[in-house]
Chain A
Amino acid sequence: MSSKILTFTLNGETIRVVVEPSDMLADVLRDKLNLIGVKKGCGQGECGACTVIMNGDAVTSCIIPALKAEGAVVETIEGIGGPGKYHPLQESFMDLGAIQCGFCTPGMIMSAKALLDKNEQPTREEIREAISGNICRCTGYVKIEKAVSTAAEKIREGK
């Protein structure tokens, strides 16, 4: 019997879930924990759609073995805000039209959040580096960049 219990902090709560050693984190989040905001685009760590924040860093969850998250602190898009209390990034993405089909959006926002959590005043280059691992086929990235810098401003003002 190869299943193991994975224990980790997910969106602020301690979670215990049964996983197989061959499960990837993205699949556990989506299929066992119903967090389908974590998208699978390529399954190879090359598109960024599956980006979550693990121990403060943006990572591509589709190639992270689930058991590697033992004891880790993980955040997904579902945990950063929602109707009634959106995260500034969610608000600015919606307000500025930085979303078209929406498939890249959760991963894009998580990459941006990982940046803003560490750096409240990112330069344009820093924003671009932070999202350079997130591919968007629809928008051309201009509004996405603007949404990230607008959110950064909101966060600074909110303090």
Chain B
Amino acid sequence: MLQDYLIPETVEQALSHLQGGKGRARVVAGGTDLLLDLANGKKEAGVLVDLTRIPGLQEITLEDDLIRLGAAVTHNQVAKSKLIQEKASVLARAARSVGSLQIRNTATVVGNVVNAQPAADAAVALVALGAVAEVVSPSGKEYIPVEKLYAGVGKSVLDSTSQIVTRIQFPALLKNQGSAYERLEQRKALALPMLNVAVVVSLADNRFQWARIVMAPVGPGPVRATEAEAILTGADVSLGNIENAAAAARAQANPRSSALRGSREYRLEVLPVLVRRALEAAVVRAGGNC
């Protein structure tokens, strides 16, 4: 049973509430995952510390080509943001695919990352964008890549009873860079992903400078298809190279059969198709031809 629900006005106040709770107080933002976990006993808390009214955390900003999202920024804010649609479209599409409009109005993108589900759509897109989390705790401020935040299925390396992610930041995409998001789902709304793929590519002279290909749920956290990325690095933009990359991505994926996500066999068949589609779309957005 919750003994208290606190709404601090600054990050310092929030940290002090957490410290005062001695492990029994935890951070909440939108709460769309956390409240359910508390109700069914998967997580425990005596006190919730709500971050969403702290000034500055509700903003999406662009400064020096770096986009920053505050901890209170909702999925709907991100999905509708012109800035994100233009300079990080993979994240806008990923955010748009979560839950329902009501959930997207409440649930935060930072919360999606901290909740550490393997195929959390916004998190998968953020890994493809090379995003970094700004983490604040009594010992100070540190920056941790979103990709490194996963300790296991549904487990974050972060401790929400003592650490607060205040912002997540990533470089805005440049003119020669493009991104794309693909999702296999049972319905167009209120459906978890059976598979999702987020891709960011950087091109020069119709060659790949680099590519980031992230896929889920095919492992405990979002999985970088590093062999596929290596195939593309420095390679010509061509359908052949993209097909090879898609096949390599499949080889690195390890989905498990489940009633929730679908069978391993079916998803291994579909995954390279999603990777190929995402690469093609990202290439087009980066101004390339394939």
Contacts and interface: CB of A to CB of B under 8 A. Distances in A.
A2 interface: yes
B217 to A, nearest CB: 19
Given A58-B105, A68-B50, A132-B190, A63 B32 contact: yes
Contact of B1 (A22, A46, A63, A67): A22
Contacts of B5: 4, 21, 65, 67-68
A24 B48 CA distance: 13
B47 to A, nearest CB: 8
B102 A65 contact: no
The contact size tier of chain B is 20 to 34
Nearest to A131: B101
B57 interface: no
Interface in A1-35: 2, 4, 20-22, 24
B100 A132 contact: yes
Given A57-B76, A70-B7, A63 B190 contact: no
A41 interface: no
A133 B189 contact: yes
B31 A111 contact: no
Contacts of B99: 45, 133
A57 B105 contact: yes
A68 B4 contact: no
Interface of B: 1-5, 7, 28, 31-32, 35-36, 39, 47-48, 50, 52, 76, 99-103, 105-106, 188-190
Given A65-B2, A65-B50, 15 more contacts: A20-B2, A21-B48, A48-B100, A48-B102, A57-B76, A57-B106, A58-B105, A68-B5, A68-B31, A68-B50, A68-B52, A129-B101, A130-B101, A132-B100, A132-B188
